[in-house]
Amino acid sequence: MWLLVLTPVGDGRRSQSHHFGNNDHKSIYKALESLNSKNKPIDVITVSNEMKVMGTLESIGGSYSLVKIQDYNLFSNLESHCYLVLEEYLK
């Protein structure tokens, strides 16, 4: 599911870390990008570990915060959410 966040939306645009207004979300996205660039699997454990290596895990509230985010059913409307992030960024 996490890898879907890195997938371009319908018009080919893809979110980037600087598009996020929330620093916690920026940190999570940077960890996703880092894992993806290394062709490593992306799941709550690998993201948690990558954030620990990057020194950002505790700033978002630790692994528990990642688990809470994963529990939300955000992925069913992922494309709409990506557009919202981009629209907010472009304001």
What pLDDT is recorded for position 11? 57
DSSP letter for each residue of 27-67:
HHHHHHHHHHHTT---SHHHHHHHHHHHT-TGGGT-HHHHH
Q: Global pTM?
A: 0.69
Tell me the C-alpha distance between 53 and 57, whole Å: 8
Decide: 36 and 42 in contact? Cβ < 8 Å.
yes
What pLDDT is recorded for position 78? 59
* Reported confidence tier of residue 1, pLDDT bands at 50, 70, 90: very low
